[in-house]
């Protein structure tokens, strides 16, 4: 939380811009003030409450506005409509009374330093500087470069970013007919079907007939390949919601033989669902007075782009997956919010859905056994089905 400012109350006798903290909507801002005053609030007309003045609020808000807003030209067709100075003050303070906010705006422009650089002016229009987003230039890109080129392991910078990102994701909600539901958390019951495909040749087919659950399940840790959500050596179970998606994900060629296993989940599982951010979920307003305001807004903006970014093929070599691998590892080892896996849309099959299932929790001492393999909360439900690929459809734009 922003360090509490030493705000000195000014005498309130005969002031016409007195406001009580009950009329200040921002919870952090109202916490800066204490003590009751007999002077009545000019907004709600109630007395005996903790009060301050519009002039003091206006002067205190100057630095916040400078930090988080910029002057722009008014363009009527902007995706985000520019705000007047009084509207900015309304957003920053949470005061709903338009006349009082206009009074604060008048106080700001009368300040001796208001004319500096022409920033504070009643004729100006403003936008929050944190509404812009560039996937490559913003913090996510910075974290990715840091992990790739500077510090891949024990990266506190990445861990802190993931911590805020996860917290924002957990708080996000989506409005539905059944009320507001978590946007990022999806629970599926035991018995849910997941499909997993594998290209099949004579040796693979032999393995499948000998032990289909092992041959079609998650790969052994020693041969677990570098993938979108895991580095080499970390075994995860990649499955799909439909058989056709599972086949499309392994990208077979014409003439290839493919084996498909039909797995069932063995218990209720909790997934981090990237699809929840396709639409803008409902979120609690972040106070401009909060110390980590920019970090929170960065995370919110990134979450709306995250699903699309992880669904795209990576073509720039092994390092292209490192950021999603790091985030997956953070979720896999997070103690307070234990997840059993991830859900995201398939880029190989339109409308397809992919699942990544994490191993069951295990003791570190298990690693001393060379033949030990992690177990997964899925089990092969029926004999595998073999297909031969006869045609592949391509679409482009």
**82-105: per-residue pLDDT in tens?**
999 999 999 999 999 999 999 999
* Per-residue pLDDT, 305: 66
Q: Is there a single domain that holds both residue 299 and residue 391?
A: yes
Q: Is there a single domain that holds both residue 283 and residue 173?
A: yes
Q: How many domains does the chain have?
A: 2
Q: Is there a single domain that holds both residue 210 and residue 93?
A: no
Q: Model confidence over 143-166: pLDDT tens digits?
A: 666 676 666 666 777 787 788 788
Q: Is there a single domain that holds both residue 262 and residue 334?
A: yes
* Per-residue pLDDT, 135: 46
Which residue range forms the structural domain that includes residue 39?
Answer: 18-131
CB 198 within 8 A of CB 204: yes
* Structural domain contains residue 137: no
Of 379, 378, 380, 381, nearest in space to 358 by CA: 378
Q: Kindly list the distances between the CA atom of residue 340 and the CA atoms of 100, 264, 334, 362, in Å, as whole numbers in the listed order.
A: 50, 14, 11, 13
Give the span between the Cα atoms of 261 and 252, in whole angstroms. 16
Q: Is there a single domain that holds both residue 311 and residue 357?
A: yes
Q: Is there a single domain that holds both residue 222 and residue 77?
A: no
* Per-residue pLDDT, 116: 67
Q: Is there a single domain that holds both residue 42 and residue 121?
A: yes
* Structural domain contains residue 5: no
* Structural domain contains residue 9: no
* % of the chain at pLDDT higher than 90: 38
The residue out of 97, 131, 165 marking a domain boundary is 131
* Structural domain contains residue 283: yes
CB 57 within 8 A of CB 111: no
* Per-residue pLDDT, 134: 52
341 φ/ψ angles, rounded to the nearest 5 degrees: 165, -170
Q: Is there a single domain that holds both residue 174 and residue 262?
A: yes
Q: Is there a single domain that holds both residue 103 and residue 159?
A: no
The residue out of 100, 131, 162 marking a domain boundary is 131
176 - beta bridge partners?
Answer: 179
Q: Model confidence over 33-61: pLDDT tens digits?
A: 877 777 889 999 998 889 999 999 998 99
Torsion over CA: 76, 79, 85, 89 (sign): positive
Q: Is there a single domain that holds both residue 157 and residue 96?
A: no
* Structural domain contains residue 248: yes
Of 108, 21, 123, nearest in space to 58 by CA: 108
How many residues does this entry show for the chain?
Answer: 397
Across 16-20, average pLDDT: 87
* Structural domain contains residue 109: yes
Q: Is there a single domain that holds both residue 126 and residue 172?
A: no
Q: Is there a single domain that holds both residue 170 and residue 125?
A: no
Report the alpha-carbon angle 355-361-363, nearest 5: 145
227 φ/ψ angles, rounded to the nearest 5 degrees: -145, 180
* Structural domain contains residue 172: yes
The residue out of 65, 98, 131 marking a domain boundary is 131
* Structural domain contains residue 217: yes
Torsion over CA: 275, 307, 130, 297 (sign): positive
């Amino acid at each position: 939380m922003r360090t509490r400012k030493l705000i000195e109350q000014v005498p309130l006798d005969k002031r016409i811009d007195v406001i009580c903290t009950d009329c200040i909507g921002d919870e952090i801002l109202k916490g800066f003030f204490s003590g009751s005053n007999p002077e009545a609030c000019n907004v709600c007309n109630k007395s005996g409450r903790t009060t301050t003045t519009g002039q003091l609020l206006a002067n205190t808000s100057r630095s916040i506005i400078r930090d988080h807003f910029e002057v722009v030209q008014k363009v009527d067709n902007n995706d985000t409509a520019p705000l007047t100075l009084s509207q900015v003050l309304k957003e920053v303070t949470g005061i709903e009374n338009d006349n009082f906010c206009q009074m604060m705006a008048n106080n700001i422009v009368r300040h001796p330093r208001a004319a500096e650089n022409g920033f504070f002016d009643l004729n100006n229009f403003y936008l929050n500087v944190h509404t812009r987003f560039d996937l490559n230039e913003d913090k996510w890109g910075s974290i990715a470069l840091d992990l790739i080129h500077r510090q891949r392991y024990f990266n506190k910078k990445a861990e802190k970013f993931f911590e805020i990102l996860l917290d924002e994701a957990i708080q996000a909600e989506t409005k539905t007919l059944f009320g507001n539901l978590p946007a990022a958390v999806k629970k599926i019951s035991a018995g849910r079907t997941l499909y997993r495909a594998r290209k099949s040749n004579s040796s693979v087919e032999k393995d499948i007939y000998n032990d289909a659950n092992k041959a079609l399940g998650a790969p052994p840790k020693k041969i677990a390949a570098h993938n979108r959500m895991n580095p080499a050596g970390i075994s995860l179970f990649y499955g799909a919601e439909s058989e056709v998606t599972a086949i499309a994900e392994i990208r077979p060629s014409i003439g290839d033989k493919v084996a498909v296993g039909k797995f069932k989940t063995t218990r209720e599982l909790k997934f981090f669902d990237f699809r929840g951010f396709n639409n803008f979920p409902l979120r609690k307003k972040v106070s401009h007075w909060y110390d980590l305001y920019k970090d929170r807004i960065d995370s919110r903006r990134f979450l709306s782009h995250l699903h699309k970014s992880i669904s795209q093929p990576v073509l720039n070599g092994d390092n292209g997956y490192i950021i999603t691998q790091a985030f997956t590892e953070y979720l896999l080892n997070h103690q307070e919010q234990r997840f059993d896996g991830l859900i995201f849309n398939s880029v190989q099959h339109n409308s397809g859905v992919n699942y990544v299932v994490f191993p069951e929790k295990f003791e570190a001492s298990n690693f001393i056994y060379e033949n030990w393999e992690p177990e997964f909360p899925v089990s092969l439900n029926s004999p595998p089905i073999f297909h031969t690929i006869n045609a592949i459809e391509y679409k482009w734009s």
